[in-house]
Amino acid sequence: MLCMVFGIVPSGIVPSPKLAREAWQAAFATQPAEFSMVPLRTSGNLPAGLLGGTLYKNGPANFERGGIKYAHWLDGDGYVTALHITEAGQAVWSGRYVRTTALIQEEAADAVLYRTTFGTQKPGGLLSNAFDLRLKSPANTNVLAFGDAVLALWEAGPPYALDPKTLAYKGASSLGGRLRLSASHGALPGTTSVRWLDEALEAAGLLTDACSAHPREDAADRRATIAWSWRQRLVGPPAIEIALHTLSHDEGSASASLTSSSPPPVRALLDDVAFAPHDMALSRAHALFVTSPTAVDLPPYLFGFRGPAQCTHFVHGMPMAGSKIHLVQRTGGEGICGATTVIDIGRAFHPVHHANAWEEERGADVTAGGSEREPQTVLRLISSCWPPEAVERFAREGSSLLGSWDELVSGDFSKVAMTNLVRFSVDLESHRVTEHTVLANGAQFDHPRVHPRWATRQIRFVFGTLGRRDNGGVMDCEPEPPQSFGCVDVSGAGSLVDAWFAGERRLVDEATLVPMTTADGVQEDIDERAVWLIAPVFDGATRRTSYVILDGRALARGPVWECELDTHVPWGLHGAWVSGARTRARTAD
């Protein structure tokens, strides 16, 4: 009994898939209310280094409008939450919808007024939807602290600024003048490659820059974040134009103009890419984008049958084409710098999220012929991916990239891909992938994270959400709902070294990793596992959400601190921690 209280799964006890799936269904109920600075009940010992800090999270939370059920969870309206730890150690919580122009319009009309990326259509059938190419931005994927605001991020539109204390909506953000935005909501992230024509279409509300929902902290410069924007080329062969933006933590305002000291963006072109990458990995020298063999069938979108994500599918071939790693050098300037290297992985892995990347020097050695081989640089990438066996199945079946949401939300995981942790090794001299190893016996592992101060450095440990503990030797096996947090040693064959099971009817959300520090921000330990994992956990029995804090050095011991809401937050996506020291510095300014 004690083991179950602390979340440890003893040998021989297997979590019940049936109970987990019942909880899974309950985790996607709409949250109808908004909350401001609600005091919470807490238990346990709060780490002193977390005082004054705030965990921001984002995710879809409203799934219907005017009696119309949204086609997909990812079409849900974005709901940003803030768990604030006061200097006195109290916990207060807020939750508000990101009140974009589109959300306000749809609330007032109590109707779906925009089409969406994942298939929600306006009422009225084809006559209403055909050739209306505007896409609603649900602003539901991630958050980023920037200047005097917190930004709500989505994959295919601009970021939206929120007040960091009240979460009140402040408007679209250009990242201090770095982005060129549309004059109205719903514009597409596209380019004609003709500057004056793009600007005219932006003024007409048709085109915009999209800011990805997956920025990266730069450990080489601990006071900067690397964000990236993109546009799809509308003329000629498929390609994605991307730009890397360095955002200083010292910038005072999310709406301020660029200064002369702001680094210029690094621009590059991802050739032969039909669908924008979901995530970016960052090493000291490169930005990495991994793309799987996909194609977009546009007519169903143009004629109002489907959303663009529903028109995206894996390309079937005999043999099937491999995925590609696009290496973009992190130096460049205005215009397309051209410093992009494309490397074929050889197998069709589909990337979901990246954990870390780094360059690693191999010393000189002696070849079989007796000659001395020069030192080599090897690039390592750790990512959570769908295995090639699942990708090949989806390609044969001709299913869209994300499949049927109705089946998944009902608890039917039979057509969902397992997500594995994979290590890729790239020889930067020959531009060959020399290794793609599935780690931890094929465990179901997603939302991989590393100690923030180890980003872009050689690592040994990765944390993430855990479903199945192994794949039983079957690469394309059926996954289970995520109910655990795990730590994987990614050296060698890789192994699961620690885990915490949340409970039979509990589901874990993505964890945010916070370095262990003293109350004044001094790092306590240089151990790579010296992090606090902070995450929401949904309880399917009580229909409530709790927040837990786990010690990265001892996950199996269970939460060191926990607080419970009197309501629920639907299963969400990504988040960010803003430390007390950073909050105090912002307030002082």
d(CA 493, CA 480): 23
Digit-by-digit pLDDT tens for the chain (589 residues) are 323 333 444 333 456 667 777 888 889 999 999 999 999 999 999 999 999 999 999 999 999 999 999 999 999 999 999 999 999 999 999 999 999 999 999 999 999 999 999 999 999 999 999 999 999 999 999 999 988 899 999 999 999 999 999 999 999 999 999 999 998 999 999 999 999 999 999 999 999 999 999 999 887 766 789 999 999 999 999 999 999 999 987 765 555 444 445 788 999 999 999 989 999 999 999 999 999 999 999 999 999 999 999 999 999 886 778 999 999 998 755 555 657 899 999 999 999 999 999 999 876 554 455 555 565 899 999 999 999 999 999 999 888 877 666 777 777 787 788 999 999 999 999 999 998 999 999 999 999 999 999 999 999 999 999 999 998 889 999 999 999 999 999 998 899 999 999 998 999 999 999 999 866 666 666 789 999 999 999 999 999 999 999 999 999 999 999 999 999 999 999 999 998 876 766 665 5
The number of beta carbons lying within 10 Å of the beta carbon of residue 194 is 11
Q: Tens of pLDDT along 560-573?
A: 999 999 999 999 99
Say which DSSP state 48 is in. Answer: G
- Amino acid found at 213: A
Distances (CA, A) of 137 to 82, 111, 219: 21, 16, 31
Query: To which H or E segment does residue 351 belong?
Result: strand 350-362
> With the CA atoms of 165, 102, 244 and 377 taken in that order, what torsion angle do they form, in degrees rounded to the nearest 10?
90
pTM: 0.92
Give residue for tokens 């064959």: 493
d(CA 264, CA 178): 9
- Amino acid found at 287: A
Q: Which tokens is 375 given? A: 């030192």
DSSP E strands in 136-238: the ranges are: 142-146, 149-153, 160-162, 169-172, 190-191, 210-211, 216-217, 224-233
Whole-number pLDDT of residue 416: 84
d(CA 224, CA 228): 13
* DSSP collapsed to 3 states, 500-552: EECCCCEEECCCEEEECECCCCCECCCCCCCEEEEEEEEECCCCEEEEEEEEC
Query: To which H or E segment does residue 585 belong?
Result: helix 580-588
CA atoms within 13 A on the CB side of 145: 22
Residues in CB range of 88: below 8 A, 6 or more apart: none
Query: To which H or E segment does residue 393 belong?
Result: helix 388-397
Q: Which tokens is 222 given? A: 């601990």
